[in-house]
Structure 1
């Protein structure tokens, strides 16, 4: 018999109502977005009357999830950056020098005195005064090498050590360079993601392209230059021993030393040791604060390893100046007054409150391991995005209206039932997109337009089958029941194959292709649900009330 259990009817209507409620905020997009942003600001402590008014624009008891608009719809910035992985080689060598120096000092009786020589970036050249001890010196330095671990197991050591006359030459191995390149790009990718997340932008796209490039797309941001300011600052913080202070920008520096300017004092320069005692990578926290004089500052705290190195150095160098260097500028060079065992301290300087807050954000997000070269940058204005939205609306409405008219003319009352289900189907698609926080792009709109056309396919199969059954069945109730039963296999076969295609597009594609695959896949699920359950329920309710002796499809 043509009937649906009560619990099934209730469940179908609950799904429909829940989906339409989740889609409802998208009908009031600007109002809901302002309300959500205001509530987020209030949670962060910005509880002002203006924020309260904006937060009250949308009832808190209603769903507030929105479909995020992609770069091509909302406008924003697009950057393609290349990570300068070669920068890491020189920094890695500088960091190894203290370890090499200390190891060789223990062999003075065999190799004599040691002195670091000027060398190319990415290598360390050390001259010994007794060349006859070269074999022992090479052995000592090679013992400092560490294995390179990969998924396939050890693939060699990280450094190569050779002799050139009286010089020991230490360089990174090719295997270590490859591993270092991969680590550097991965680290840069994560740090860029953290910095952009700190700004609170909605649904950025940050992904690796090739071996050394990173694609960054951020909807809703003002310009590419603004985005570059957020991610372009390396914020490399180091704590270096001070050799001397000078006012001459042309001062000569020895091997293993470098000349850096003072951030606060114009015309003042510091000669510092290139190898830092502690780096910003060992920071675990940085917060804006105020010093004892009420001036803006930044509190910092090291991890266990950094705290130990920081504590040991301050214990052995009480009374000596210690430079806090940010991006090759000395922001502070205090004299160590006493042992600092806790691994925490404060950075002072001529900061404003905003500068100290920004510095804390950059340090907390981490230092970029290498510089970025921006190969491509585009600013997509909101006018272009609005044009895309308008074009997508027109295309969807034309397709929608054409399908509605066709179904009504072709199938009469049953076509109207299919049209109601189609309207519910669109609402369910937007409800699911809002639920999962998906990003809607222009290809995504194309997926919705395609879904509008495909959504009635199942109803067409069912209605045509009912027409056939009306010629042979005993009555309209039996014809409707057989129509749904016999069309089910064809509906499932057609939609499963299309859904598999959508899954493959999502798995193998990226960016716009994924946006199309998401809306297509969700549209298939909702269209099957509305065709098999919603349309059938509408037909059953109508049939129960009218009890027609004959029906015309």
Structure 2
């Protein structure tokens, strides 16, 4: 029994050590690791103000919702990782945070452009609008000559486009984006397959940018830039480094405190804390949690609560040993009696985190999410993992001194 427990503990320590070593690179990888928010990675913060049209029509909340949805589509097409797009209905604004964006002016142009696509005859009459467009993609022209935007119409749009090109054989068909002429080709034959091509782009980036605007649809209102603020990557790195240093110092203090005050159970608690951290970080990676400064604060707070749960349990174990129970019986009884207290603390904190996540926005959601994940993982490590490891430790020696559990005298 004693030998078996020793082997189990050695194997467990080796597994955790290997897992820790293998986890460092994938978790901190700048591309595929845990995504960092605007305040850590740098990027651009935009406030887009909705403007009334020339007729003075009132801007409704529905207009803001539609504009927000279109902006979200455009941001996603830009390939930005975990953007934050929020609507401010009172001020008729849309707030956009784009982490990792290095060209803010390009992002601004894509997001605020109304992007009304129209097809017109030589007299400027609108024959077809972008509402009938199904997809638009940037690409290289035939024979490698220049760059183009390939358009695909819906079934209804394909029929309309076929009728228009049939009527305009030998004539020009202008393609406009927000009153700006993109191309004005001559229709040689009817186009009946619902496919069209806009030529004349100098670079693939230009073609891809216009394709994003076309397939995301036109904004229901015009947007102006009320605020544009670029967050430098150096500021993000500095904030991240300070957070990491604060976390390291806190962990060192916690490790020493648990080791000195609780002795052998403190060693188990410190070991469980390492396992806890690994599970939480992999959960962040798996759920694509965007890590921000408030998110790191939530994570550090959850670490403190995980340690607090161990303290509650260990204090109960010490009480049971002082009452005359053996170490083995004291451990089992202490965990059982502390169970309700630990569960109650978990549930109340989870309710608070859940409420913050539902009612909050942006960084508040990030704080609530990291805190909630941390609490759920600590429930496992405190009640299940720590308990089992401590059983193995106690099973090594039937005559273990109570000194190693912070209690004076022998069993």
User: For residues 179-208 of structure 1, what are the alpha-carbon distances to aligned partners after superposition, in whole Å with 9 as ceiling and x for unaligned?
Assistant: xx4454333323322222223222111222
Q: 1:488 to 1:278 in 2, by over 3 A?
A: same
1:281 aligns with 2:161: no
The structural deviation recorded for 1:433 is 0.9
The structural deviation recorded for 1:541 is 1.1
Q: 2:34 aligns with which of 44, 55, 67?
A: 67
Equivalence for 2:116: 236
Q: What runs of 5+ residues in structure 1 fail to find an aligned partner?
A: 37-65, 88-119, 123-173, 244-271
Q: In the aligned structure 2, how far is the partner of 1:550 from the partner of 1:390? A: 43
Q: In the aligned structure 2, how far is the partner of 1:293 from the partner of 1:413? A: 71
Length, aligned pairs only: 398
Equivalence for 2:323: 472
The structural deviation recorded for 1:507 is 0.9
CA contact (8 A) 1:20 1:427 kept: no
TM-score (norm 2): 0.86
CA contact (8 A) 1:283 1:364 kept: yes
- Residues 93-242 of structure 1 correspond to what in structure 2 (within 5 A)? 121=55, 181-210=60-89, 212-242=92-122
Q: 1:469 to 1:367 in 2, by over 3 A?
A: same
Higher relative contact order (CA 8 A, sep 6+): 2
1:79 aligns with 2:46: yes
| Structure with the greater alpha carbon radius of gyration | 1
More helix by share: 2
1:33 aligns with 2:12: no
Equivalence for 1:115: none
The structural deviation recorded for 1:221 is 1.2
Q: 1:364 to 1:476 in 2, by over 3 A?
A: same
CA contact (8 A) 2:46 2:95 kept: yes
SS at match of 2:277: helix
SS at match of 1:202: coil
1:430 aligns with 2:281: yes
Q: In the aligned structure 1, how far is the partner of 2:202 from the partner of 2:105? A: 23
Equivalence for 2:153: 302
- Residues 415-494 of structure 1 correspond to what in structure 2 (within 5 A)? 415-494=266-345
SS at match of 1:538: helix
CA contact (8 A) 1:502 1:521 kept: yes
The structural deviation recorded for 1:318 is 4.1
Q: In the aligned structure 2, how far is the partner of 1:438 from the partner of 1:377? A: 25
Q: 1:184 to 1:282 in 2, by over 3 A?
A: farther
The structural deviation recorded for 1:334 is 3.3
Q: 1:353 to 1:475 in 2, by over 3 A?
A: closer
CA contact (8 A) 2:70 2:217 kept: yes
- Residues 352-431 of structure 1 correspond to what in structure 2 (within 5 A)? 352-431=203-282
The structural deviation recorded for 1:492 is 0.9
Q: 1:338 to 1:527 in 2, by over 3 A?
A: closer
Q: In the aligned structure 2, how far is the partner of 1:217 from the partner of 1:354? A: 22
SS at match of 1:367: coil
The structural deviation recorded for 1:377 is 1.3
SS at match of 1:387: helix
SS at match of 1:286: strand
Q: 1:353 to 1:530 in 2, by over 3 A?
A: closer
